[in-house]
Structure 1
């Protein structure tokens, strides 16, 4: 078994990666920005059934301190952590600089400590934005056009992944890299840190969304994202490759609403039955900063294919309808009003 570092183990994807690694018998360590969060992290992982040796170490993506100690002696690193903001950034560099510099800090420490391979958690945001409308799914050959006026988050993920591949090519000294690019991530919740896509479901169940927004995206179960990270960590076929993580064909938001209503009945009574016209969404977005970030996606279908991960790594994600229902059940169990 291997020694593996998961950066950001308290995050939504990171926590499931830790659980999968422990279940597979690996020795695992993870980083948090503040060790005061360690008890909450361990409690969250315990809810997920964590068993096995786990070390929690302090390290911040915006500082060099702690990273050499975190990776020293590791065979692999899953770099899942990424800087996040709780509000719309005043300037895009508030997201771009920490994301890019954080990736490079982890890669340098991994190289210098003799780590065999790093798996980078990127995003579909580094693949599918800034392109003309198209009828074919996005693949790993596609890259987001950062000069096309895209939102800060997608730009930060693109530039961070680009920087990672450039580092490996020029300074990697034999360090291996693979990237996982998840679409909208859903699935059971262990704690308060979860994906924006899951937040959409929470708001739909809670009645905060009066109508579905008109855009389509791919979705994937967080447990399958973790599984893909572990496959990319050890499979020789993963070296130097990107892998889109998507369960099946894309869904419009109205499709998700329909699934919730059909499968949850009265517990989904607040889920919207109507779709908000694009022109009205644009009008409301003028005074709603969060909605403004959705405007570039309106009317578009961000479909992608995970055929590469299935072909090269044998990855088999679960049906997304089942994931949507289990996600909703998990949120309702946490106290989202029915």
Structure 2
């Protein structure tokens, strides 16, 4: 049991809450930032749902990525920081700066405060979005050597993750002092939901389970379990070999929406009776996105396959993720368990 103090930014989020659970299980004391202390009860409930007993080992600090206030107090006395918090919109923002500014400036606020407080290492949650976009199509798997081109025709979210990570590395190189940085770059994060706050990836499974789509769009993406993402953060935090490195988090080959739909049908019984298994023509998805703005972000990715490898995380940190199948089933089971799906009795 280490007893060292770790700050997790954004503990009310899907990945943040799982990081809190993993750290508590490993014997760390955890402080997490929330934008309002009204979220404390929610976070404690999520941590309990994840199997950890928070007690006095978990404390809270109020801080916002858009303000300097609260960050010196949040990092005070901390040995490590997991910077997980980042804006993720439900749809397309009116202006890309609505995402880019909080992501980039928030990262720099956290790093400055960590450096000034004598924190040893910050682990930043970046994304595959900072690696695999804005490139010519390739059949070769992307690795940590690859960087997204933010000047290409990419979404505001992709640009925000890329610029925020670039800003972090530049800060460490120029003015980081003795502060160390490691970065985790997950693909689509799935796995057990601990409460009503969950990622956009989980929304895809929920929409399938609810039968909210007439079919599956031709989308393909990497899959990783949130529990394994949290584990990789802990490994990147503690391993000397992780200093100054970035690590792709992906469990294996990518999955299509249709793969996920068929898996749910095969494994989730009656709970998956609404899941559609026919594939939608791209043109139908494009037309639907004109009246359903939440679909717009996926349109540029229709039919595209981006491969990636987590060979480095396995070789350097001994990271061994769960299978895609286990992850997707755990996602669906948690949505059922928490009552986050439509009531079957209201089905047409």
Query: Which residue is equivalent to 1:198?
Result: 202
Query: Which residue is equivalent to 2:175?
Result: 171
The alignment status of 1:280 with 2:292, answered yes or no, reads no
Shift of 1:86: 4.1
Mapping for residues 123-202 of structure 1, pairs under 5 Å: 123-202=127-206
Q: In structure 1, what is the Cα distance between the partners aligned to 2:88 and 2:73?
A: 24
Alignment deviations for residues 110-147 of structure 1 (CA, whole Å, 9 cap, x no partner): 00000000000001111111111111111111111111
1:270 to 264, 274, 289: 274
Consecutive unaligned residues in structure 2, runs of 5 or more: none
Q: In structure 1, what is the Cα distance between the partners aligned to 2:281 and 2:137?
A: 19
Mapping for residues 306-317 of structure 1, pairs under 5 Å: 306-317=310-321
Query: Which residue is equivalent to 2:24?
Result: 22
Q: In structure 1, what is the Cα distance between the partners aligned to 2:333 and 2:51?
A: 18
Alignment deviations for residues 42-97 of structure 1 (CA, whole Å, 9 cap, x no partner): 12212222225111110111000110011011110000011233442110000000
Question: Match of 2:16, SS?
Answer: helix
Q: In structure 2, what is the Cα distance between the partners aligned to 1:137 and 1:286?
A: 32
Q: In structure 2, what is the Cα distance between the partners aligned to 1:161 and 1:292?
A: 25
Runs of 4+ off more than 4 Å: none
The alignment status of 1:45 with 2:47, answered yes or no, reads yes
Shift of 1:266: 2.5
Query: Which residue is equivalent to 1:292?
Result: 296
Q: In structure 1, what is the Cα distance between the partners aligned to 2:212 and 2:231?
A: 32
Asked whether the equivalents of residues 216 and 303 of structure 1 are also in contact (C-alpha less than 8 Å), the reply is no
Alignment deviations for residues 183-224 of structure 1 (CA, whole Å, 9 cap, x no partner): 011111111111111110000000101111102110000000
TM-score (norm. length: structure 2): 0.95
Q: In structure 1, what is the Cα distance between the partners aligned to 2:91 and 2:298?
A: 14
Question: Match of 2:6, SS?
Answer: strand
The alignment status of 1:303 with 2:335, answered yes or no, reads no
Question: Match of 2:275, SS?
Answer: coil
TM-score (norm. length: structure 1): 0.98
Question: Aligned-residue CA RMSD in angstroms?
Answer: 1.1
Question: Match of 2:174, SS?
Answer: helix
Question: Match of 1:302, SS?
Answer: coil
Query: Which residue is equivalent to 1:11?
Result: 13
Q: In structure 2, what is the Cα distance between the partners aligned to 1:69 and 1:9?
A: 16
Alignment deviations for residues 280-312 of structure 1 (CA, whole Å, 9 cap, x no partner): 222222332221111111110122110010000
Q: In structure 1, what is the Cα distance between the partners aligned to 2:101 and 2:130?
A: 15
Distance 1:37 1:21, change over 3 A: same
The answer to which of 273-282 and 155-164 deviates more is 273-282
Asked whether the equivalents of residues 91 and 297 of structure 2 are also in contact (C-alpha less than 8 Å), the reply is no
What is the count of residue pairs matched by the alignment? Answer: 338
Asked whether the equivalents of residues 61 and 83 of structure 1 are also in contact (C-alpha less than 8 Å), the reply is no
Q: In structure 1, what is the Cα distance between the partners aligned to 2:247 and 2:17?
A: 20
